[in-house]
Amino acid sequence: MKEMNTPTKTYKSFAKVNIFLKIVGFKDGYHQIVSRFVLVDSLYDVMWFEQNDGNGFDVVGEFDCPLESNTIYKAYKALTEHVSYQRIEQFCKTHKVVVYKNIPAFAGLGGGSSNAAMFLNMINEELNLRLSLKELIEIGKDVGADVPFFITKYKSANVRGFGEIVEEFDEEVPQIKTFTPNVKCDTTKIYRLYRKDFSKNMSQQLDFADMLSHMDSREILEEFSPEKLNDLFQPALKSELDLELAKKDGWFFSGSGSSFFTTT
């Protein structure tokens, strides 16, 4: 973690890894998954609100995208479309969201989704909106597939469908160590390549995914190979040639990459 100066009230926006990620269907132009998400409690961004000049919603941090493409901004827009509380817009005019980034981008660690989810939880708490977990998930699911998981704050969960079905998994979550090479993976491109070249056995994945969803994360990692556990690993290797050089034996691939992880 980098050193920083922050206000008293801050929020930790944690990373996640996919212990396994199986693609089990394709519907309405989107892939359906079964996956085990676990939080990485040693890797997180720090977020807080600061006074703003009152000219409009603003996000401050090391982002390489315009405001309109930022997941926090998308979460704000989704929130205001869901609930028409004038105090939300007024608060966001007079307060900016500050994010101290530690989670790498384009890394399969869910940094953007985690930030969006934490923003929704932050403003729900700050303004005492009393939005239920179900309502927050309903708002967050249209922002990003990983957002509902982060909204729940579960340490481990089985995630299904398009990411909107999140079932807490009771286990002793292993300590995770991550490694992110200097390779940016294009999630859309990797899913497209999976669909084109690797999806022949997609309909047969469901039974295996269901079996994995009942196993402890550590047991899964001990029993199966990285290639077997993540359906996007091979497409990512084919899509990003530098990833082949960066991978490490015995390390597992998270999401659509480019991060690898192991247990400590």
CB 229 within 8 A of CB 20: yes
- Let me know if 189 is a catalytic residue: no
Among residues 22, 141, 146, 247, the one annotated as catalytic is: 146
Measured distance CA(233)–CA(253) in Å, rounded:
6
Phi, then psi, of 232 in degrees rounded to 5: -95, -5
SS3 label, residue 262: strand
> Token pair for residue 45?
């961004």
Give the Cβ contact number of residue 256 at 10 Å.
26
Among residues 16, 22, 155, 247, the one annotated as catalytic is: 16
> Token pair for residue 91?
């608060």
Give the Cβ contact number of residue 166 at 10 Å.
22
- Let me know if 22 is a catalytic residue: no
Q: Which of 137, 184, 145 is nearest to 35 (CA)?
A: 145
Q: Which positions are annotated as active-site residues?
A: 16, 146
